[in-house]
Structure 1
Amino acid sequence: MAFERVGVVGLGTMGAGIAEVFARAGLRVIGAEADAEALARGRGHLERSTSRAVDKGRLTPERREEILGRVTLTTSREDLRDADLVVEAIPEILDYKISLFRDLDGICKPETVLATNTSSLSVTAIAAATGRPDRVIGMHFFNPAPVMRLVEVVGTVVSEPDVVREIAELAERLGKTAVTVGDRAGFVVNRLLLPYLNHATVLMELGVAGRDDIDVAMKLGAGLPMGPFALLDLIGLDTSYEVMEVLFDETRDRRHAPSPLLRELVTAGLLGRKSGRGFYGEETAHPRGPARSGVTTFDVAGGPGAEELAERLGAAGFKRSANGDVVLRLDDRPVVEHAVRLRDPATMLGVHLVGDRVAELARTALTSDEAVGGAIDLMKVLGLDPVPVKDRAGFVVDALLFPYLNDAVRMHDSGYASIDDIDAAMRLGCGYPAGPFELLESLGLARVRDGLRALYAEYREPAFAPAPLLDQLVTAGASEFPRR
């Protein structure tokens, strides 16, 4: 069908952004809110967003007026009766959404498609509350909607295939990239992103590394736009907690249970940027890691790239000695078994170079503070950002990255979404430099499989066991995933 008149119910930041997207594409938009006060706030969102676009040179004043002229605002849902499509953007409370869709079902013409912008709730449950479940789908925009290019189009087991296709085509007409997925909690982006963020809080609770060190490792080492704690504060800890609850309710996977620290912060009202304090906030900056140590000698006791590292340190003016102040072991696995073979095991740390900017420094149960401080000095001289971590499987970067990649493989193998759609969703929805399958193939399938085995051996977390598809491809000697 031709979508020319679109309704948007709920004109908060997200709903107003969605209305703007439709109006920019030349569609007539009816924006509905509960009362005059909420409607005025919605109008303010639209006016400020389009004004910013003019200030940045992205819109002319004439084009802005044209866009705003396409939007009609109302407090009466009856005004949506002639809409071809109605998109709901009210708070993420299932009972509220079901009540709204029942109301819309009685107001809108039979051929109208009803879409929910939910980020994680069951589209099937919403559809089942109407008399047109085949014409109810998910249309999940990302915030800010006028800027973010991704739309997740969510079909259910009763969705009319033509409707799903037509909504995906409409998203493309809006200038977005549409990925079509099934109705599972979190869809693609939140189902992969939130467990990774939750896992980061667990590693911090376990003392594997500190908040700032984890953020540095994932931003500078893994190349992500933000570290997990900065991103949690941006998303909102309450929103993240709610999504994890939805995931856990569906999967009963203990990794999806919100971490105790996340629950505690939400209960205390520390919700991130929206409340002024979350994982970050009103605290004095603390130096990362011990103070300078005055180390003068070192040794590199093996591992891939050991001699190259030794040469770099030697060129920087440090003296190599078999009994050095600090002994480094290049590895991405726990190094305590190597430390106990030394005359002085307190001097050994593991070193895992992540990209060309970060060095994870793994401290064993025997490592001294002086050795940690010395290793930090050595890495800083080389221009690397040192990240002290406990001597645990995967350290920080691999421990967070590999389970996320494994989840993506399981998602694809279940038939839930294609490789290309999963990669596009994570690039466009999260701003990642590469999708999970692109990253898997770049890192090497065998390396990721073996890293997952090490994580599983240490943590005994069933979800850390390599996905069967990944294991089979490595066994077959494959270096890429088959696209089908």
Structure 2
Amino acid sequence: MAFERVGVVGLGTMGAGIAEVFARAGLRVLGVEADAEALARGRSLLEGSTGRALDKGRLTGEERAAILGRVTLTTSREDLREADLVIEAIPEHLDLKLALFADLDRICKPETVLATNTSSLSVTAIAAATGRPGRVVGLHFFNPAPVMRLVEVVRTVLSEPGVVDEVAGLAGRLGKTAVTVGDRAGFVVNRLLLPYLNHAAVLLELGVATRDDIDAVMRLGAGLPMGPFTLLDLIGLDTAYEIMEVLHDETRDRRHAPSPLLRELVTAGRLGRKSGAGFYSGEPPRAPDGGSRPGVTAFEVAGPGADELAERLGAAGFKRSGDDPDVVLRLADRPVVEHAVRLRDPAKLVGVRLHGDRAAELAVTALTSPAAVAAASDLMKVLGLAAVPCKDRAGFVADALLLPYLNDAVRMYDAGYASIADIDTAMRLGCGYPAGPFATMETMGLARVRDGLRALYAEYREPAFAPAPLLDQLVVAGASTFPRS
């Protein structure tokens, strides 16, 4: 099917961006809003976005005029009768979408494809509200639509395969990268991203680490574009809360229940950047400082990689001594306290996990003294590492957040929900991650991921933390990569 005339219903930030994307690709666009006031806001968003692109030299005046000239605005849905494709971008309330699609089904010609930009609601339920369920798909753009390269094309059990392929082809024509996924709450990106963000809030509630330290280790240690709390504030806490509720309604997985802290902040009106305060109150995350010269005269270090760390500290002017050190650094996974109790003075031991040359997690046991934590932090800062104190818990912070996300990706693939390539692509382009989950696991080592998940499951007894059967089988078989067809 040749898509030449496209309707966009709802011209808020997302809808106006989608209309711009279609118009930039040379398609004629009919934008529909509920009333004249909303229509004026939509026109302002279109003019503002293209105006900024003009100011930055990304569009010429002629190109901007051509884009705006391809967009016609109206308050009448009846004008959509000749559209080849209609996509809605109205608020995320299922009853509103069901009513809209029933109306579009009446108005549009039989061959018109109807699409929803929902980020988490059931596309199947929306399709079933029409007389053309085979021609209804999800077409999930990411904000800002003119900039973000990813589009999730969502198929249902009712979708005609040819229609899904045609819509994916259209996404390519728009200059987007399409991934085709099954109809599960959250699709790929939100289904993997939001539980990770929610889990970060749970770790904060449990006191495993501070807000700023969790953000720092995930940005500097795990290499993510931003920490979970900074990202939650950007997304909007109310949006995150709503998506988590949709996920929980479908899965009944207790990990998908919005964390109490997230619920409290939303109830208090702290919605993130949109309200001026969320996890942060306008202040930026605390940047790890370089610290001053610590008052440590002697240290000891043990565990895998101890000699290398000792050499680095020695080069910085510190003395390694096993007699009476100020602090004992233990390079090991938890439980770190098992190493502490073997010492003459267990209060001096601090667990250390290095993340390249950027960050170090410092595991604090129930016996560790504040002086030892301060000494370890100062030593790490002298080496140029961001020091992240945390409780002596399985996975500390980085693995406790990263490994369940990776495990979820394995389960998603194993269920036939999306391909490895599409999952990796979705997380790279949709979240700006340096690598997708499968590439990340292969870099880390499948056995390390499997063993880390076993440790998390043993401590937290969360069923979803148990290694996915496929991951376990690949490790047992000695595989280092996932099968790709």
TM-score, with normalisation over the residues of structure 2? 0.98
Give, as a single letter, the amino acid of the residue that structure 2 aligns with 1:253: D
What SS is found at the alignment partner of 2:82?
coil
Give, as a single letter, the amino acid of the residue that structure 2 aligns with 1:434: A
- Equivalent residue for 2:377? 376
Structure 1 contact 222–355 (Cα < 8 Å) conserved: no
- Equivalent residue for 2:453? 452
1:436 and 2:450 aligned = no
Give, as a single letter, the amino acid of the residue that structure 1 aligns with 2:189: V
Instruction: Return the alpha-carbon distance in structure 1 between the equivalents of residues 237 and 333 of structure 2.
Output: 31
Instruction: Return the alpha-carbon distance in structure 2 between the equivalents of residues 413 and 455 of structure 1.
Output: 21
Matches within 5 A, 1:239-278: 239-278=239-278
Alpha carbons of structure 1 residues 285 and 88: separation in structure 2 relative to 1, 3 Å: closer
Give, as a single letter, the amino acid of the residue that structure 1 aligns with 2:45: H
Instruction: Return the alpha-carbon distance in structure 2 between the equivalents of residues 452 and 285 of structure 1.
Output: 29
Give, as a single letter, the amino acid of the residue that structure 2 aligns with 1:316: A
- Equivalent residue for 1:147? 147
Give, as a single letter, the amino acid of the residue that structure 1 aligns with 2:423: I
What SS is found at the alignment partner of 1:43?
helix
1:55 and 2:55 aligned = yes
Alpha carbons of structure 1 residues 284 and 110: separation in structure 2 relative to 1, 3 Å: closer
- Equivalent residue for 1:174? 174
Q: Deviations over 1:440-474 (max 9, x none)?
A: 00000000000000100110100000000000000
Q: Deviations over 1:374-431 (max 9, x none)?
A: 0011001111110011010100001100000000000000000000000000000000
Matches within 5 A, 1:31-42: 31-42=31-42
Structure 2 contact 21–146 (Cα < 8 Å) conserved: yes
1:86 and 2:86 aligned = yes
Query: What percent identity do the matched residue pairs reach?
Result: 82
- Equivalent residue for 2:20? 20
Instruction: Return the alpha-carbon distance in structure 1 between the equivalents of residues 287 and 126 of structure 2.
Output: 49
Shift of the alpha carbon at 1:283? 6.0
Instruction: Return the alpha-carbon distance in structure 2 between the equivalents of residues 61 and 305 of structure 1.
Output: 60
1:422 and 2:423 aligned = yes
Shift of the alpha carbon at 1:334? 2.5
Alpha carbons of structure 1 residues 96 and 443: separation in structure 2 relative to 1, 3 Å: same
Structure 1 contact 18–145 (Cα < 8 Å) conserved: yes
Count, aligned residues = 483
Structure 2 contact 310–320 (Cα < 8 Å) conserved: yes
Instruction: Return the alpha-carbon distance in structure 2 between the equivalents of residues 418 and 355 of structure 1.
Output: 31
Alpha carbons of structure 1 residues 47 and 358: separation in structure 2 relative to 1, 3 Å: same
Shift of the alpha carbon at 1:332? 3.0
Give, as a single letter, the amino acid of the residue that structure 1 aligns with 2:32: A
Q: Deviations over 1:171-216 (max 9, x none)?
A: 0010000000010000000000000000000000000000000000
Q: Deviations over 1:223-250 (max 9, x none)?
A: 1111000000000000000000000000
Instruction: Return the alpha-carbon distance in structure 1 between the equivalents of residues 280 and 237 of structure 2.
Output: 11
Give, as a single letter, the amino acid of the residue that structure 2 aligns with 1:44: S
- Equivalent residue for 1:398? 399
Instruction: Return the alpha-carbon distance in structure 1 between the equivalents of residues 333 and 175 of structure 2.
Output: 42
Structure 2 contact 288–386 (Cα < 8 Å) conserved: no
- Equivalent residue for 1:409? 410
> What's the Cα RMSD here?
1.4
Shift of the alpha carbon at 1:355? 2.5
Deviates more, 1:325-334 or 1:133-142: 325-334
Structure 2 contact 212–286 (Cα < 8 Å) conserved: no
- Equivalent residue for 2:345? 344
Instruction: Return the alpha-carbon distance in structure 1 between the equivalents of residues 388 and 422 of structure 2.
Output: 34
Structure 1 contact 137–156 (Cα < 8 Å) conserved: yes
Q: Deviations over 1:34-81 (max 9, x none)?
A: 000000000011001001111111111110000000000000001111
Structure 1 contact 221–354 (Cα < 8 Å) conserved: yes
Instruction: Return the alpha-carbon distance in structure 2 between the equivalents of residues 139 and 205 of structure 1.
Output: 36
Give, as a single letter, the amino acid of the residue that structure 2 aligns with 1:48: G
1:72 and 2:66 aligned = no
Shift of the alpha carbon at 1:282? 4.6
Instruction: Return the alpha-carbon distance in structure 2 between the equivalents of residues 384 and 443 of structure 1.
Output: 21
Matches within 5 A, 1:210-249: 210-249=210-249
Instruction: Return the alpha-carbon distance in structure 1 between the equivalents of residues 429 and 37 of structure 2.
Output: 34
Instruction: Return the alpha-carbon distance in structure 1 between the equivalents of residues 22 and 356 of structure 2.
Output: 41
Instruction: Return the alpha-carbon distance in structure 1 between the equivalents of residues 264 and 276 of structure 2.
Output: 16
Give, as a single letter, the amino acid of the residue that structure 2 aligns with 1:15: G
Shift of the alpha carbon at 1:288? 6.9
Shift of the alpha carbon at 1:287? 8.7
Instruction: Return the alpha-carbon distance in structure 2 between the equivalents of residues 284 and 233 of structure 1.
Output: 11
1:6 and 2:14 aligned = no
What SS is found at the alignment partner of 1:34?
coil
Instruction: Return the alpha-carbon distance in structure 2 between the equivalents of residues 332 and 425 of structure 1.
Output: 31
Instruction: Return the alpha-carbon distance in structure 2 between the equivalents of residues 26 and 336 of structure 1.
Output: 64
Q: Deviations over 1:70-114 (max 9, x none)?
A: 000000001111000000000000001001001111111111000
Shift of the alpha carbon at 1:331? 1.6
Shift of the alpha carbon at 1:286? 7.0
Structure 2 runs not aligned, ≥5 long: none
Alpha carbons of structure 1 residues 469 and 52: separation in structure 2 relative to 1, 3 Å: same
Structure 2 contact 6–27 (Cα < 8 Å) conserved: yes
Give, as a single letter, the amino acid of the residue that structure 2 aligns with 1:60: T
Structure 1 runs not aligned, ≥5 long: none
Matches within 5 A, 1:271-310: 271-282=271-282, 294-301=295-302, 303-310=303-310
- Equivalent residue for 1:125? 125
Structure 2 contact 357–384 (Cα < 8 Å) conserved: no
Shift of the alpha carbon at 1:285? 7.8
Structure 2 contact 119–140 (Cα < 8 Å) conserved: yes
Q: Deviations over 1:237-264 (max 9, x none)?
A: 0000000000000000000000000000
1:470 and 2:479 aligned = no
- Equivalent residue for 2:334? 333
Give, as a single letter, the amino acid of the residue that structure 2 aligns with 1:251: T
Alpha carbons of structure 1 residues 285 and 150: separation in structure 2 relative to 1, 3 Å: closer
Instruction: Return the alpha-carbon distance in structure 1 between the equivalents of residues 214 and 459 of structure 2.
Output: 20
Instruction: Return the alpha-carbon distance in structure 2 between the equivalents of residues 427 and 445 of structure 1.
Output: 20
What SS is found at the alignment partner of 2:410?
helix
TM-score, with normalisation over the residues of structure 1? 0.98
Q: Deviations over 1:316-341 (max 9, x none)?
A: 11111112111000123321000000
Instruction: Return the alpha-carbon distance in structure 1 between the equivalents of residues 193 and 348 of structure 2.
Output: 37
- Equivalent residue for 2:367? 366
Q: Deviations over 1:347-384 (max 9, x none)?
A: 00100001220000000000000000000110011111
Instruction: Return the alpha-carbon distance in structure 2 between the equivalents of residues 332 and 59 of structure 1.
Output: 53
Instruction: Return the alpha-carbon distance in structure 2 between the equivalents of residues 469 and 282 of structure 1.
Output: 44
Shift of the alpha carbon at 1:345? 0.3
Alpha carbons of structure 1 residues 414 and 287: separation in structure 2 relative to 1, 3 Å: closer
- Equivalent residue for 2:482? 481
Instruction: Return the alpha-carbon distance in structure 2 between the equivalents of residues 262 and 167 of structure 1.
Output: 36
Structure 1 contact 334–362 (Cα < 8 Å) conserved: no
Give, as a single letter, the amino acid of the residue that structure 2 aligns with 1:455: L
